[in-house]
Amino acid sequence: MAFAGMMLISACSVLFAAVSPDIITQTDAAIENLRKRNCTVTITKDGVPLSNTAVLIKQINNDFGFGGCIATIGFKGANGDSVKYSEAIRKYFDWATPENEMKWTTTDGADDYTDFGPGDYIVDWCNENGVKVRGHNLFWNEDVRWLPSWTYELSPEQLRSAMALHIDSMMTHYRGKVAHWDIINELIHYPQATHGTPEVTLFDSATADPDIFKWILSRARKNDSLSKFVVNEYAIVEGQDQQATTIDIFIDKMNRLLTDTSSFDITGLEGHFGAEVNREKYLANIQRISEGIPRKIWLTEVDFSIPVEERADRTEELMRDCFANPNVGGLILWVWWNGNRWLESLTSVLVDSNFVETDMGERWRTLRDQWKTNVNGATDAAAQVSFRGFQGEYLAMYNDGTNNYSARFHLAPGTGDTAMTISVIDTVLSPSDGVVRRNGGRNMRSWFTCNGQRIGIDASAMREPLFMYTYSVDGRLLSKVPFAIENRTISLPKMVSSGCHIVRIGTNDKTVYSGRFFDVK
């Protein structure tokens, strides 16, 4: 269905010798049907159709979530280069899960005080760089060690009150900033529990309330109706603790939480595979869980300790199996940088301690590139471009000989053909070096990121203080934020708030850029 004369720039399937050709053929066929869709886009500018115009359509990310665990240790440069750490996140992931920064033991919450600083650092960086955040975690049910120490002496009633304060503060503070929340982490694995008795877990016991998890989900939902709620568990998909009773207990307890509308949206299977990544086992377990719990599955914390020479192949198989499965919505790596491993034995790294790409990193990146659609061509007389592409976020771009224009659009999941009309504005994605040189190199543009959009302005002539003015769509001034240009890079103290806004950049009396922004979905 591709438009005549257009070039699809999506990579072809890459056959790595150690991965079975049958696996590649089968997953490619499933992915083609499940993750791609025919699309026709009509492109306009200022209400005028852009007929017979050269355009580039570039996919930004997939609807399927590919992500990794991130931590302030990487940004602070304690064990590595913070710039390289940031670049690696943007290079490999569209989603991120803070490792410890949002956990109760970090935020604490005693005496009506919550320390949002570590979590804000991660969340703000992700929002500014177009990376979706998985809030992690609201409550960790696996061991009393994961509770703040001041809660140890609380009565059941006092603990419940402390939990209520924690729910309200965290869910309210991060509402609209995170796409997912791991509301309950590790539902059934509790060292003090009697095996086969899922009622005896940390919060069930400590609060003396058999319905405590329903209460947690309900209260959290009252504070946040935007994010998707996840309940995580380990040793379910991995094939390590696969007595029939373990999965049965998990399915049973998860289904008990599905009795009302304020429940969870996603089944989180962690995926700490250890020394074995057994394809036959994890496929069977994913199938069994998807049949037993009527919710989409995400693999939320994948890592392993297998021989280095096997890791790229096992990673490709897992990526393919998840992307080809209609019951799986995302795959999040836990360990991916050798500079931050919670177990020394783990080999599942995309980059080494100096951020040099490993064979696993190359495989991950190659497959991610293969599963994105880029189209280079021209609109027809009706200002339309037709193509078959992977579902996800796109950017349509064109140049009128003087200025660059672009517009974001979303190719949503579905089985039938889809069509949409978009309107381009004067914003473009920057090249990798962040600087655009036009007119023989005489003009330079400086770039900054706001809600995932890269914006360029001519900064060479600016000598006065600059401000970013944010307006509502009906013209109300929402904020005026100063910022500075340093080395042709604009640093903003905070991102534009959620929603659709009109943004103006300039001095008190001169505008150098204006445009419309949308919150990243």
CA 119 to each of CA 91, 134, 455: distance values in angstroms, whole numbers, following the listed order: 22, 11, 26
Q: Is 131 exposed, middle or buried (0-12, 13-18, 19+ CB in 10 A)?
A: buried
The pLDDT value recorded for residue 201 is 86
How long, in residues, is the chain?
521
Task: State whether 37 and 70 are in the same domain.
Answer: no
- Model confidence at 352: pLDDT above 80: yes
Residue 272 pLDDT > 70: yes
Q: Which residue has the tokens 């700490």?
A: 272
Q: Is 337 helix (H, G, I), strand (E, B) or coil?
A: strand
For the chain, what is the largest distance between any 2 Cα atoms, rounded to a whole number of angstroms? 74
C-alpha to C-alpha distances, 130 to 125, 152, 199, 229, 503, nearest whole angstrom: 9, 39, 40, 21, 18
Report which DSSP code applies to 66.
E
Q: Do residue 214 and residue 330 come from a single domain? A: yes
Q: Which of 25-39, 73-87, 117-131, 504-518 has the highest mean pLDDT?
A: 25-39
pLDDT of 439 > 50? The answer is no
> Domain containing 519 — which CATH number?
2.60.40
Please indicate, yes or no, whether residues 246 and 308 belong to a single structural domain of this protein: yes
The count of C-alpha atoms lying within 13 angstroms of the C-alpha of 432, restricted to the half-sphere facing its C-beta, is 4
pLDDT at residue 51 tops 70: yes
Q: C-alpha distances in angstroms, 351 versus 262, 338, 358, 454?
A: 40, 6, 5, 26
Q: What does pTM read for this prediction?
A: 0.80
Q: Is 268 exposed, middle or buried (0-12, 13-18, 19+ CB in 10 A)?
A: buried
Residue 241 has pLDDT above 90, yes or no: no
pLDDT beyond 70 at 10: no
409 and 464 housed in the same domain: no
What's the Cα-to-Cα distance from 506 to each of 75, 128, 485, 497, 501, rounded to whole Å?
A: 30, 20, 12, 19, 16
User: Is the per-residue pLDDT at 12 higher than 70?
Assistant: no
**pLDDT single digits (tens) 258-271:** 976 669 999 999 99
Provide the domain count of the chain.
Answer: 3
Contact assessment for residue 474 and residue 500, using Cβ atoms and an 8 Å cutoff: no
Helix, strand, coil percentages (3-state) for the chain, rounded to 5, are 30, 30, 40
Quick one: pLDDT band at residue 467, thresholds 50, 70, 90? confident
* CA distance readout (Å), 34 to 64, 328, 418, 504: 11, 11, 15, 41
Rounded to whole angstroms, how far apart are CA atoms 81 and 101? 20
Statement to judge: residues 210 and 342 lie in one domain:
yes
461 & 320 share domain: no
| Residue 464 resides in a domain | yes
CA dist., res. 241 & res. 201, Å (int): 18
Q: What whole-number distance in Å separates Cα of residue 37 and Cα of residue 415?
A: 7
- Tell me, what's the pLDDT at 404? 87
Are both 456 and 398 inside the same structural domain? no
Question: Looking at the domain assignment, is residue 237 inside a domain?
Answer: yes
Which residues, in sequence order, are CB contacts of 474 under 8 Å at separation 6+?
Answer: none
Beta-strand relationship, 418-423 and 436-438: unpaired
Helices (H), 36-98: 72-75, 82-92
- 162 and 266, same domain (yes or no): yes
Do residues 183 and 214 touch, judged by C-beta distance below 8 A?
A: no
Which of 134, 229, 139 lies closest to 185 in space, CA to CA?
139
In a domain, 58, yes or no: no
pLDDT digits (tens, 9 = 90+) for 286-336: 999 999 999 999 999 999 999 999 999 999 999 999 999 999 999 999 999
**Residue 372 forms part of a structural domain:** no
373 part of a folded domain: no
pLDDT tens per residue across span 72-94: 999 987 555 889 999 999 999 99
Question: What residue numbers bound the domain in which 517 lies?
Answer: 441-521
For residues 137 and 270, membership in a common domain is answered with yes
Residue 400 domain-assigned?
Answer: yes
**Residues 222, 495, 472, 180: is their CA dihedral positive or negative?**
negative
Region 340-361: mean pLDDT is 96
Together in a domain, 351 and 387: no
The CATH number covering residue 265 comes to 3.20.20.80
